[in-house]
Amino acid sequence: MAPARRPSCCATSAVAPACGAAARTIRRSRSRRCRRRAPPTRRRPRGCGRRASSPQRSTPAGSTRPTRAPRARTPPPRSACRPPIPSASAPRPSRTPCSPSGRPAVRLTHEPLPLETAFTFRISVGARKAHANTLVRIEHDGITGLGEASPASYYGENARLVEAALETYAPCLGEDPFALDAIEARMRATLRGHGAARAALDMALHDWIGRRLGLPVWRLFGLDPSRVPLSCVTLGLADPEEMERKLDTVMDFPRLKVKLGAPGDVDNLRRIRERYRGAIQVDANTAWSPPDAVRVLRAIEPLGIELVEQPVAREDLDGLAWVRRRVGIPVFADESCHTAADIANLAGRVDGVNLKIMKTGGLREMLRAIHAARAHGLKVMLGSMVESSLALSAAAQLAPLADVLDLDGHWLLRHDPFDGAPRERGVIALSERPGLGVVPAAGAPPGGPA
């Protein structure tokens, strides 16, 4: 006869159930056998992670338990692209950031690029003859790219702030000049604003890439150089006699831009139209109130003016729309438009926008602003500050996308240190030279901007 099978702890017993103390003993033994054993807990080594909470150990009476001094915490290192902003009063002449991977980083150097206009250039917000621009070089893999910053005091910029911003942006260049998107993102996260400094770095990076690939930048954008419009040349504010002398020097240009915003604007413009038969556009540089703008623009409408730039204050977008509804001359925004983010607010208020590389902070943002303007049905004008042919040639790389050009800063200079895209009589010629197509001008001093 087979022996009786002992039931498992989870089976039902065939014998009569026990009662009293015996039953309690059986239940405790079954629960102990059926309970799954928890895996052993691994003890952490001391000093790793959070200490487990445990009851306080008792210490003998009269004895003192030694206390451990708190461990000093070392602050984490600052991000490579968020350094402290250096003092603008003593900017460093150059900086070579360290690359985390140990590979050579892009090296940045900068130096003053003083420019002098042939005559005092006056507009409604001020007059200047000397301009303190900054020349930027980036070096990597044996190739050098060039850029130029032209700060505008109207936007709160100057040469010292440009140099300080360049030092702050230097670590953001990293080790790969081709990584334009990442570099731009790091610069935006590091320091906002400073369009002139960012523009200089952006054009130097594009110049480096073009030289590295042996191609002009306009080819990298896939543009057609035959679609570049003629550029205008600018006449600043002047009294009638001075205006006559200046007008003698520009009669061969096909397009003329006249600064307004002074008493006698209408009479001055009538005298210009009597002698000059080409296209004329005007720029008030925020000089008027909306009613004054309407009064002056209606008076000059019979002179065949093609467009007017920024007739009212830059923050007065409704004033721009109010003027536009009351005059027949197309209204363009200049000081009211810096980047692509400004385009949507201007749509329906103006006919076009004047984009400048020193305002957008580089070619990439300028291209975004061009596409945004087209999407909102606005015309596009590419303009400039007082710049050499280096910065003008950078903006000219996108000139085939523009309706109107005002890339004439080189014409205002007593000596242009570079030779690039701008030519005589308003011609902008995109060459096949690699990068921005810029070379030192004939007669440039040794050790100069080459």
**β-bridge pairing 143-149 and 233-235:** unpaired
Secondary structure (3-state) at 112: strand
Handedness of CA 353, 359, 363, 366 (dihedral sign): negative
Q: Report H helices in 90-224.
A: 159-169, 180-190, 195-213, 217-220
Going from the C-alpha of 3 to that of each of 7, 14, 298, 383, 399, the distances in angstroms are 12, 15, 120, 106, 102
CA of residue 227 relative to chain centroid, distance = 26
The set of catalytic residues is 259, 356
Sequence ranges of the binding site for Mg(2+): 283, 309, 334
β-bridge mates for residue 418, sequence order: 440
Alpha-carbon torsion, ordered 177, 183, 187, 188, to 10 deg: 150
Residue with structure tokens 């059986």? 26
Helix (H, G, I), strand (E, B) or coil at 109: strand
Contact 260, 282 (CB under 8 A): yes
Triad 188, 191, 196: Cα angle to 5°: 85
In single-letter form, the type of residue at position 164 comes to A
Cα dihedral: 436, 442, 446, 450 (round 10): 0
